[in-house]
Amino acid sequence: MSESGIIDYAVLIPLLPMLAFPVILFLGRIFNGTPTWVKNLKEGGIIALTVMGASLLLALAVIKEHMNSIGATNVFTWFETHWWEVDGALTDRVFGVGIYIDHLTVMLLFVAAFLCFLINIFSIGYMNTDPINDNRNHRFYAEFVLFCSGMLGMVLADSFLWLFIFWELMGLCSYLLIGFYYERPSAAYAAKKAFLTTRVGDVFLVIGLAMLWNMFGSLDYAVVFDPVEIAKVSSSELQIALGMMFIGAVGKSAQFPLHVWLPDAMEGPTPVSALIHAATMVNAGLYLVARMFPFFQAADIGSLSTLAIIIACIGGITAVMAALIAFVQMDLKKVLAYSTMSQLAYIFTGLGCALWFANNGYEELATFALGASLFHLFNHAMAKGMLFMASGSVIHEMHHAHHEVAHHEHDDDHHDDHHDDHHDDFDAQSMANMGGLANKMPITATAMFVGSMSIIGIPFIGGFWSKEGIIASAWKVALKEPVFLFPAMLVLIGAGMTGFYMSRMWFMTFAGKPKTDVAKHVHEQTPWIPIPLVVLTFMTLSAFILAGMHAGAWLGDYQSGHYSNFFSGVGEELQYVFLNDDPFLMVLTYVTIGLSFILGPSFAMALYGGSLDDDDEAKPWMQWAIDLSARVNKNSNFDNSAWANSSLAYSLEKRLHFDDWYDAAMLKIVVGFAYISAKFDKNVIDGVIKTIESTSQAASAKLRTLTTGSARDYIMMTALGTLAIFLLLWGVA
Amino acid sequence: MSGTQALDIKNKEFMLVGGLLLIVAALMAFFPYMSSGDSEVDWISLPLVGFPIIVSCILLAFASQESRSRKEVIAVPIRLFTLAASLIPLAISTSLFFDWLIAVDWNLGYNEYALEKEYIWIETIGVSWHVGMDGLSFPMVWLTTFLIPVTIVTTWNEKDGATYHPLLLMMGGALIGVFVALDLFLFYVFWELTLIPMFFLILKWGGKDRRYASQKFFIYTFAASVIMLLGLITLYFLQPEGSGPRYGTVTNRTFDMRVLFTNALAANEGDGVFLGKDMQNILFAMLMLGFLVKLPAVPFHTWLPDAHVQAPTGGSMLLAGVMLKMGAYGMLRLPVALFPDALIFYQDIIMAIGLISLVWGAIVCLGQTNLKRMVAYSSVSHMGIILLGIASMQPIGYAAALFMMFAHGIISPMLFAVCGAFKHHYHSMEIGAMRGMAKWSPYLAVYMMFAWMASLGLPLLAGFVAELMLMIAYWHTYGWWILLPGFVLAITAAYYLWSMQRTIFEGGDEGQPPESLNGETPPDITTSENIGMIILAFFTILFGIFPFIALDMMGQWTHELFLTVFEGGGI
C-alpha cells in the first residue's frame, strides 16, 4: 500500500525539528549573548519558528492530500530478528518504520503542527522578555523543537512501536522543560514526579506492546489492524494487552489514578504548559486509545466491552474529581491544569462509548461517538492552548507591573538586579492578586472569555458541539448497558462543575475591582503574544464550521462524505442538538445546557462577580457578562464560608491527599525498603564473603604457628606423618 | 628544568617514539604474512591481540627503568604513543565491521569463523593458537578496540600516565584475546591475563581502600574461574580421543573449540545427549559458576561495587564496559552452545538468578548514597537482563542479550566517565553533597543526564532496543513474571532521576557547591573528558537510531545457534 506524492516528504515533518535541536543548542552555546543572536534570532526562537513553519506547511500539504484517503509509505526495516516457532521453524520478524496517515492522523497532525507553530510565536514574546531567562533561551527552543518532533513523529508513525518511541521522546522533553528552572527545588521535584508517574504508565504500555507483539508478531498498524489477523487472536488476551496499553495512556493523559503529575508540571514556563501539558502531549494517551478502535470494530472479535467500560469510568471519575479540585485552586495555571485533566477525561469517556458501540456492532453510533470525542480533542486543544497562553500573558504582565510598582517604591535603592522579582513573596500567578483586568488586557480577556466558553460548552461556541456529543453518547450507551449510567451521570454533573470553575476563574481574574496595587498597573504591552491569541480566538469561534461539516461523522468515517453541503450540515447539526427526534436526547441537551450555562456560571457570579472600577469599561462583548455578574453578586448575598472552611474544602486544597499518599508510599515504603536492602547487601551477602575471608585468614594464622623453627617439632611431625602413611597403607591393604 | 636536561629529554622522546614505531612497523609488516601456508593475512593474532600487549609490555619495561621525576616527563610521549597504538586495532576492527578494505564475509554458519587462523602451540597436549571471530565475538572485539582509545582520551590527565595508559592498552589486548580465542587453553590464558592489568590499575590508582578492593576482585574472580578451569579440563578429558595435528601427542585429546563444537553438535543431534545428561548438568553448572561471578549475578556480585568504587575511572570504564561481558560471552560461547539439554534443565534457575539480579540490583541502587556505587549496582541490574534473554529460549531474547552486552558496553563507560569526572572535580561521590551542578558544570550536567537517560532505556539510545526485545521474548516464555522486569524499569528511572534531582538540579540561584571544595568555584570538565564523552554519546545515539549495524550480525549468529544447536539438538 504505497503511492508517491507529498507523503514521501512527510518524514520531514518530524525530522526538521529534530535536526534543528542540535543546531539551536550548539549555536546558542557558541553565540550566547551576542547582539545578532539575541536581537535578530531571538536566542534561537526564529530558527525554531522557521522550522515549525516549514513543518506546518508540509503538514498542511499532507493533510490536503489525505483528507479522505488513507496513505502509507513503504515500510523500511529498522532491524530484524527471528522467532522460533512451535514447529521448529525459524521465521524472520521485522521491526519496521514508516508513515501512516488516516483521518485520525490528519486531525492530530493539524492540531500538533498548528499549535506548535502558534505557541512558538507566543514563546518569543513570553520567554525573550523575561530577564530570568537570559542566556538560557536557546535551551528552551532546542527542547521545544525536540518536543515538537516527538509529537509530530508520534502522530505520523505507522506502528505502535514508533508511537511508543516518540511518546518517550516527548516524556523526556516534558521532563527537561518542566525542570527548565533547574535551580528551583520545586521545579526539580515536579520534573522528576512527571517523569516517574508517566513512567509507571509506560511500563504497562511496554508490557502491553510485548503482549500485542506476541499475538501478532508485529506492531505495525498494517498488520495488527488486518481483520484477518485480528480474527486469529483470543479476545480475552487482546483485552488484557489493550488494557495494559490503556494504563500507559492514563499516565500520559494524567487520568486518575496517575494524574498527580500534571498540576505540578505547571512549574515549567507557561508556553510549555500551553503546548505540552494542555494542547499536545497529554493528547497522546487519547490518541493511543483512539488508535485501538479497529480492534473493537473488527467483526470477528469477541467481547472487549469490559475495557470500554473501564475507559469510560476512568474518564468519568477523573472528570468530576479534577473539576472538584479546580473549585478551590487559587493559582491561575493550576485551575487550568485541573480543567485540562477534566476535559481529557471527557474525551476518554467519549472514546469508551465509541469503543463499546463498535464492539457491540452499533457502527453508526460508534462513528458518532468517536467523532464527537476527537472533535472535543480538537476544540479542547485549541481552547486550552489559548487559555494557557492567555494566562501566560496575564502572569507576564503581572510580573511587569509588579516590577514597575516595586521600582517606584524603592526608587532610591538601585534595583538593577532583575532576579529580585522572584525572591519576594508576591505571587504573580495567584488569582487573589488579580481582578478587574478585563479592560486593561482586552485581547487576553477576550481570548480567556472565548476559551472559557468553549470549555464550558456555551451553545454555538467551540466545545459545545463536541461536549454535547460525548454526553449524549454516554447516555445512549447507558440506555443499553446500565453500568454506563455511572460515567454518564458523572460527565453530566461534570458539565455543571465545569461551568462553575471556569467562570470562577474568569470572574476572579478579569471582573471586579483590582485586588492589589499591582493589578491596577497591568498593561498589555509585550509584542508577539497577542498574535496567537487572536488566531485561536477566531479558531474557537469558528468551530461551528467544523460542526457544520459534520466533523463528528467526518472524523469518525471520512468515507461517508457528509460534508458536501455546508448549510444543510449546520442545519442538521442544530436540529440534532436542539430538536432531536428522540425526546430523551432533546431533554438531555437542555439539562446539560442548564447545568453548564446557567447553574455553574450563576454560582460563580454569585460568589466572585463584580463590576470594574467606576471609570473602566471592558469591551462590549465582555461588559454584559461583568454587569450581569455584578448584579447576581449583589442580589444573591451568597455566603460560602461554611463550605470554604469545611473539611471537604481542605482536602480539595490538598488535592484529595493523593500526592501525600504517593509521596509517602515512595519515600517510606520503596526507598525505606531500598535502604534496608542496601544494608542487607552490604552486611549479609557481602558479609558471608567477608566471613569466608576472615575464617581462612584465621585458619592460616593457626597453621602458621606450626612453623616453630624448632628441629624437635619437625622431627616429631615427620615421624607422625610417616606413621600415618603406614597406617593408611595398611588399612587399604 | 635546565636546558641540557630538556635537550636530553627531547632526544629520549625521539628515540622512544621512533624506536617503537620501527618495532611496530616491523611487526605489522611481517607477522600477518607469516601464516600457516595459505596466503590469507592474519588480521587477528598480531594486529588485534599481540600488538597491544607487546607494545604495552615494551612501554612498561621502558617506563619502569625511569626515576619518578623522569616518569612524569616521559608520560606525555608515552600517552601519545599508546593512543596512536590503540587506534591501529580500532582501524582494523572498524574496517572489518563494514567489510571495507579488508575482505570479510560475516554471513557465517554455526561454528564457522571469519579470519580464522591456527598455529600449533603445545603439541603434547593438543594446544594451538587458534583464533577467529563470529557474530557473537566480533561486536565485543570492536567494542574493546573502540573503548581503549576512548578510555585513554577520557583519562588523559590521570597521574603516572607512563604506566597507566600502557596498562589500559594491555588490558585491551587481553580482552580481545578472550573474545577471539578458539582454543579452551588459550581462552583460559587470556581470561586470567585480563585480571593482571586490572589488578594493578585498582591497586596503584585506586581510592582509599584500593588494596582490599583489588585483592577481593582478584581472589573472588580467580576462585570462580578455577572452578571453571576444572570444568574445562574435565571437558577436555571426556571428549573422544583422536589423532591429527590438533590432537596432543601424549593425551590424544584437543583443546580446540571448533573440534569440541563439532563433537558436541554430532552427539547432541536428535535425541542424543553429549556426554550424558548428568555430566552435562555438572559441567554446565561448573562453567556457569565461573561466568556468573564474572557477570556478576546476585549473590556473587559483591566484588563489583568494591572494585568499581576503588578503581580509577579508566579501570571502571573497561571493567564495566567489556570485562563484565566476558562472563556473558563465555556463557553463550561454551555452556549454552555445548549443553542445550542442560540449558533446558537449568532454564528456570537461570531465569530466577537473572530476575533476582535485575530486581535486587535495582532496589539496592535506590538505597545507595555514593554515586559510583549506585552506577556499579546498576550494572549488576542490567547484566540480569542478559540472563533473562538466555532463559527466554527465543532468538529475539538472545539477540536482546547480545545487543544488551554491546549497548551496555558503550553506555556504562559513559556512566563511569561521568562519575570519574565528578570525583575528579568535586572530590566527592556523595549524592546530594552538591546541588545545582547545571549552573557551574553545564557540560558535565548534560553528559550525566544523557548517560543516565541512556541507561534507563530511553528510546533512540542504544539500550532501548535490547530492553524492548527482551520484554517481547520474556512475555512469551514467562508470562506474568514480566511484571517484575517492568517494576525494575520504573525503579531504574526512580534511582536515576532521584540522583539527578539531587545533583544537577536544585541549589537555588547560587548553587550549592560541595563542601569538599572549601568554597572554591567548582570547575567544568576538562577538554579530554569532554572529547571522550562526546564520542561515547555519539555512538550511543548511533547504535540507538541504527541498531541494525550491530544487530544484523548478532541476529545471524542467534539464527544459526537456534537452527543448528537447539533445533538440531532436538530441544
pLDDT single digits (tens) A614-643: 778 888 888 888 888 888 888 887 777 888
Confirm or reject contact between B242 and chain A (CB < 8 A). no
The nearest alpha carbon in chain A to B436 belongs to: A183
Q: Which pLDDT does position A567 carry in this prediction?
A: 58
CB-based contact A677 B298, cutoff 8 Å: no
| Average pLDDT of the residues of chain B | 88
Of B399, B489, B493, the CB nearest to A206: B489
Is residue A270 within 8 A of residue A132, CB to CB? The reply is no
Residue B10 has pLDDT above 60, yes or no: no
Compute, in degrees rounded to 10, the torsion defined by CA atoms B211, B216, B221, B227: 130
Of B458, B548, B567, the CB nearest to A78: B548
Contacts of residue A510, defined as CB under 8 A and 6 or more positions apart, other chains included, come to A434, A435, A436, A437, A438, A441, A445, A448, A449, A618, A622, A626
pLDDT 10s digits, B184-230: 999 999 999 999 999 999 999 988 889 999 999 999 999 999 999 99
Of B51, B131, B122, B139, nearest to B89 by C-alpha is: B51
Indicate the pairing of strand B114-122 with strand B127-133: antiparallel
Share of chain B above pLDDT 90, in %: 61
Q: Which pLDDT does position B105 carry in this prediction?
A: 83
Mean per-residue pLDDT for B357-365?
A: 94
In a mutational test of the A interface, the residue from B209, B211, B302 whose CB has the highest number of chain A CBs within 10 Å is: B302
Q: Which pLDDT does position A713 carry in this prediction?
A: 86
pLDDT 10s digits, A142-183: 999 999 999 999 999 999 999 999 999 999 999 999 999 998
Mean per-residue pLDDT for A95-123?
A: 91
CB-based contact B505 A182, cutoff 8 Å: yes
Of A81, A206, A213, the CB nearest to B395: A81
Residue A206 has pLDDT above 80, yes or no: yes
pLDDT band (50, 70, 90) for residue B12: low
Residue A594 has pLDDT above 60, yes or no: yes
A418-477 residues touching B, CB cutoff 8 A: 419
Q: Nearest CA of chain B to the CA of A138: how many Å? A: 14
Q: How many distinct structural domains can be found in chain B?
A: 1
* pTM for this model (two decimals): 0.92
pLDDT band (50, 70, 90) for residue A576: confident
Range in A12-16, A131-135, A537-541, A686-690 the model is least confident about? A131-135
A663 vs B contacts (CB less than 8 Å): none
Q: Which pLDDT does position A1 carry in this prediction?
A: 45
Looking up cell 607512563, which residue turns up?
B162
CB-based contact A674 B555, cutoff 8 Å: no
Confirm or reject contact between A671 and chain B (CB < 8 A). yes
Confirm or reject contact between A180 and chain B (CB < 8 A). no
Q: Cα–Cα–Cα angle for B479, B468, B369, nearest 5°? A: 95
In a mutational test of the A interface, the residue from B439, B447, B472, B510 whose CB has the highest number of chain A CBs within 10 Å is: B472
Residue B275 CB neighbours (<10 A): 22
The domain of B181 spans 2-567
Residue A421 has pLDDT above 50, yes or no: no
Q: Which pLDDT does position B33 carry in this prediction?
A: 52
Residue B173 has pLDDT above 90, yes or no: yes
Residue B8 has pLDDT above 60, yes or no: no
Of A81, A184, A674, the CB nearest to B396: A81
Is residue A76 within 8 A of residue A51, CB to CB? The reply is no
Contacts of residue A714, defined as CB under 8 A and 6 or more positions apart, other chains included, come to none
Residue A560 has pLDDT above 50, yes or no: no
Share of chain B above pLDDT 70, in %: 93
Of B476, B361, B456, nearest to A207 by C-alpha is: B476
A210/B565 Cα distance (integer angstroms): 26
Of A90, A175, A185, the CB nearest to B563: A90
A82/B402 Cα distance (integer angstroms): 14
A451/A560 Cα distance (integer angstroms): 31
Residue B7 CB neighbours (<10 A): 10
Q: Cα–Cα–Cα angle for A274, A276, A279, nearest 5°? A: 60
Residue A701 CB neighbours (<10 A): 9
Confirm or reject contact between B559 and chain A (CB < 8 A). yes
Q: Which pLDDT does position A104 carry in this prediction?
A: 86
Q: Which pLDDT does position A369 carry in this prediction?
A: 87
pLDDT band (50, 70, 90) for residue A549: low
Q: Which pLDDT does position B38 carry in this prediction?
A: 52
A544/A551 Cα distance (integer angstroms): 9
B115-154 residues touching A, CB cutoff 8 A: none
B338-377 residues touching A, CB cutoff 8 A: 360, 363-368
B561/B136 Cα distance (integer angstroms): 10
Mean per-residue pLDDT for A520-531?
A: 84
Contacts of residue B442, defined as CB under 8 A and 6 or more positions apart, other chains included, come to B524
Of B364, B460, B471, the CB nearest to A165: B460
Confirm or reject contact between B93 and chain A (CB < 8 A). no
Q: Which pLDDT does position B416 carry in this prediction?
A: 95
Residue A557 has pLDDT above 50, yes or no: no
pLDDT 10s digits, B491-515: 999 999 999 999 998 888 777 778 7
B568: left (phi over 0), alpha (psi -120 to 50) or beta: alpha
Count of all residues that appear for chain A in the document: 733
Q: Quick one: cell of A7?
A: 507523503
Q: Nearest CA of chain B to the CA of A709: how many Å? A: 30
CB-based contact A183 B506, cutoff 8 Å: yes
Residue A533 has pLDDT above 70, yes or no: yes
Q: Quick one: cell of A204?
A: 504497562
A494/A498 Cα distance (integer angstroms): 6
A681 vs B contacts (CB less than 8 Å): 302, 360, 364
Residue B2 has pLDDT above 70, yes or no: no
SS (H, E, C) B216-253: HHHHHHHHHHHHHHHHHHHHHHHCCCCCCCCCCCCCCC
Looking up cell 488508535, which residue turns up?
A291
Looking up cell 522467532, which residue turns up?
A83
pLDDT 10s digits, A653-664: 888 888 888 888
Range in A541-550, A551-560, B539-548 the model is least confident about? A551-560
Q: Which pLDDT does position A551 carry in this prediction?
A: 55
Of B451, B430, B436, nearest to B505 by C-alpha is: B436
CB-based contact B474 A210, cutoff 8 Å: yes
Confirm or reject contact between B48 and chain A (CB < 8 A). no
Contacts of residue A348, defined as CB under 8 A and 6 or more positions apart, other chains included, come to A253, A255, A285, A286, A289, A311, A312, A314, A315, A318
Mean per-residue pLDDT for A308-314?
A: 94
| A356, A659, B18 from A190: Cα distances, Å | 36, 12, 59
Residue B518 has pLDDT above 80, yes or no: no
B447, β-bridge pairs = none
Long-range contacts of A11-15 (CB under 8 A, 24+ apart): A11/A73, A11/A99, A11/A156, A12/A54, A12/A55, A12/A58, A13/A55, A13/A58, A13/A59, A13/A62, A13/A109, A13/A113, A13/A152, A13/A156, A14/A55, A14/A149, A14/A150, A14/A152, A14/A153, A14/A156, A14/A166, A15/A149
Q: Which pLDDT does position B446 carry in this prediction?
A: 92
Residue B25 has pLDDT above 90, yes or no: no
Confirm or reject contact between B484 and chain A (CB < 8 A). no
pLDDT band (50, 70, 90) for residue A548: low
Is residue B82 within 8 A of residue B168, CB to CB? The reply is yes
Q: Nearest CA of chain A to the CA of B459: how many Å? A: 5
Residue B16 CB neighbours (<10 A): 18
A321/B71 Cα distance (integer angstroms): 71
Confirm or reject contact between B407 and chain A (CB < 8 A). no
pLDDT band (50, 70, 90) for residue B32: low
Q: In A645-710, which ranges are continuous DSSP H helix? A: 647-653, 658-664, 672-680, 686-704
| A83, A161, A477, B157, B471 from B480: Cα distances, Å | 20, 21, 33, 50, 11
Q: Which pLDDT does position A60 carry in this prediction?
A: 92
Is residue A520 within 8 A of residue A514, CB to CB? The reply is yes
pLDDT 10s digits, A342-361: 999 999 999 999 999 999 98
A369/B332 Cα distance (integer angstroms): 54
In a mutational test of the B interface, the residue from A76, A79, A166, A667 whose CB has the highest number of chain B CBs within 10 Å is: A79
pLDDT band (50, 70, 90) for residue A37: confident
pLDDT band (50, 70, 90) for residue A339: very high
B550/B405 Cα distance (integer angstroms): 11
Residue A460 has pLDDT above 90, yes or no: no
pLDDT band (50, 70, 90) for residue A559: very low
pLDDT 10s digits, A665-723: 888 888 899 999 999 999 999 889 889 989 998 999 988 888 878 888 888 889 999 99
Q: Which pLDDT does position A547 carry in this prediction?
A: 66
Contacts of residue A279, defined as CB under 8 A and 6 or more positions apart, other chains included, come to A111, A115, A119, A381, A382, A384, A385, A388
Is residue B260 within 8 A of residue B350, CB to CB? The reply is no
Residue B300 has pLDDT above 50, yes or no: yes
Of B300, B312, B184, nearest to B238 by C-alpha is: B184
A196 vs B contacts (CB less than 8 Å): 490, 493-494, 497
Is residue B203 within 8 A of residue B211, CB to CB? The reply is yes
A116 vs A732 pLDDT, higher one: A116
The nearest alpha carbon in chain A to B558 belongs to: A82
Confirm or reject contact between A211 and chain B (CB < 8 A). yes
Indicate the pairing of strand A76-84 with strand A71-72: unpaired
Mean per-residue pLDDT for B407-415?
A: 95
Is residue A610 within 8 A of residue A630, CB to CB? The reply is yes
B424-443 residues touching A, CB cutoff 8 A: 436, 438-439
Residue A564 has pLDDT above 50, yes or no: no
Of A515, A386, A494, nearest to A122 by C-alpha is: A386
Q: Which amino acid is at A38?
A: V
A314/B118 Cα distance (integer angstroms): 67
Contacts of residue B155, defined as CB under 8 A and 6 or more positions apart, other chains included, come to B164, B168, B312, B313, B314, B317, B420, B528, B532
Tell me, rounded to whole angstroms, the distance of Cα A538 from its chain centroid. Answer: 24
Residue B407 has pLDDT above 70, yes or no: yes
Of B302, B482, B552, the CB nearest to A210: B482
